[in-house]
């Protein structure tokens, strides 16, 4: 089980984040009933410590986000993580390295899962049983936090190993190029109205239209205003 | 190459280039263009 620190005041770790060039990042969020996902936990791994940052307790996050965006994020299949953070904080990291993309470029199975990659690289079995847990519940059980910490524990070691292998094959720039494409804000600037329209049309096509007007999909903006940062 | 085909280009990417004539496909940009894109264009 990885050691981690639960952070209730995100801005308090900004100074430490500023000391690192690379950090492993993962998020936990809920999207079942809302159009915009609700960010519920941000895990950040440095080479020394794993932080589990709670964004739901009302403390400021502006300084935390500023510091985190200065580092290169190491993620696994990070598109949704970037999306959720972008929609919550309206910010995006300056640089990104996606270990799933890197593994694919190296010749591993396309779209390889994190657990499979960790097993392949380090011969370690990790738990994926909490993938569909209710991450908005508080307090978060220790088992959830352990799981969350494990999701970032191997990202920096994977970066080191994958980078070395990519370099040997002359494909580091390939992984960097594909990873950078995840930093296009246009990927994440979603229009809720279009989503409602798509949902309505999909229902009609499925022949499940009700006699009463269709209820638009519940649109819940994340805790922070999309026009201002926390 | 030791690289899965779909990592380079999906069937949809290739169809877009070959059948629909798209030229903004990812297979025609960056490292994919050097690897297969230029050769693909020569064949079309």
What HEC string does chain B produce?
A: CCCCHHHHCCHHHHHHHHCCCCCCCHHHCHHHHHHHHHHHHHHC
Give residue-wise pLDDT tens across range A103-117.
999 999 999 999 999
Distance of CA B17 to the CA centre of its chain: 7
Question: What mean pLDDT do residues A143-163 have?
Answer: 97
| CB proximity list for B19: less than 8 A, separation 6 or greater | none
A147 is catalytic: yes
Q: When comparing pLDDT for A205 and A67, which is higher?
A: A67
Least confident of A4-18, A53-67, A76-90, A215-229: A215-229
CA distance A19 to B40: 46
H-assigned helices in chain A: 14-17, 62-70, 79-89, 99-106, 114-122, 142-153, 155-169, 172-180, 192-205
**pLDDT recorded at residue A223:** 44
- Residues from chain B contacting residue A174 (CB–CB below 8 Å): 30-31
Q: When comparing pLDDT for A32 and A102, which is higher?
A: A102
A125 is catalytic: no
**ipTM attached to this prediction:** 0.92
Which of B4, B7, B30 is best to mutate for the A interface (most A CBs within 10 A)? B7
Does B3 contact A105 at a Cβ distance shorter than 8 Å? Answer: yes
Burial of A77 (0-12, 13-18, 19+ CB in 10 A): middle
How far away is chain A from the Cα of B36, in angstroms, using its nearest Cα?
14
Give residue-wise pLDDT tens across range A10-41.
999 999 999 999 999 999 999 877 778 999 99
Q: Which two tokens stand for residue A6?
A: 């639960």
Residue whose pair of structure tokens reads 């580091």 in the numeric block: A172
Is the pLDDT at A152 greater than 60? The verdict is yes
**pLDDT recorded at residue A229:** 36
A127 is catalytic: no
Does A174 contact B6 at a Cβ distance shorter than 8 Å? Answer: no
- Residues from chain B contacting residue A105 (CB–CB below 8 Å): 3, 7
What is the spatial order of strands in the sheet that A95-98 belongs to? A5-7, A50-53, A38-45, A22-30, A72-75, A95-98
First-last CA distance in chain A: 32
Is the pLDDT at B35 greater than 90? The verdict is yes
Q: Does B41 touch chain A (CB under 8 A)?
A: no
Q: When comparing pLDDT for A118 and A215, which is higher?
A: A118
H or E stretch covering A75: strand A72-75
Q: Does B4 touch chain A (CB under 8 A)?
A: yes
Q: What angle do CA B21, B25, B26 make, to 5 degrees?
A: 155
């Amino acid at each position: 089980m990885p050691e981690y620190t639960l952070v209730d005041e995100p801005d308090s770790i900004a100074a430490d984040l500023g000391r690192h060039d690379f950090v492993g990042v993962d998020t936990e969020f809920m999207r079942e009933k809302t159009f915009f996902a609700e960010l519920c936990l941000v895990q950040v791994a440095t080479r020394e410590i794993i932080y589990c940052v709670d964004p739901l307790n009302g403390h400021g996050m502006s300084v935390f986000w500023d510091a985190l965006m200065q580092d290169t994020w190491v993620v696994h299949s990070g598109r949704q993580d970037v999306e959720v953070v972008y929609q919550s904080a309206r910010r995006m990291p300056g640089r990104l390295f996606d270990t799933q993309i890197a593994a694919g470029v190296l010749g591993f199975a396309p779209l390889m899962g994190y657990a499979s990659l960790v097993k392949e690289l380090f011969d370690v079995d990790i738990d994926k049983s909490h993938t569909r847990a209710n991450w908005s519940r508080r307090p978060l059980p220790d088992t959830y936090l352990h799981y969350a910490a494990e999701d970032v524990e191997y990202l920096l070691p994977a970066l080191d190993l994958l980078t070395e292998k990519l370099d040997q094959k002359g494909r580091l720039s390939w992984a960097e190029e594909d990873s950078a494409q995840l930093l296009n804000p246009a990927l994440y600037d979603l229009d809720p109205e279009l989503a409602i329209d798509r949902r309505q049309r999909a229902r009609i096509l499925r022949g499940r239209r009700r006699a009463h007007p269709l209820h638009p999909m519940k649109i819940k903006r994340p805790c922070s205003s999309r026009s201002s940062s926390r | 190459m030791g690289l899965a085909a779909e990592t380079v280009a999906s069937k949809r990417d290739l169809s877009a280039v070959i059948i629909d004539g798209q030229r903004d496909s990812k297979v025609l940009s960056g490292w994919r263009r050097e690897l297969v894109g230029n050769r693909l264009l020569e064949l079309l």
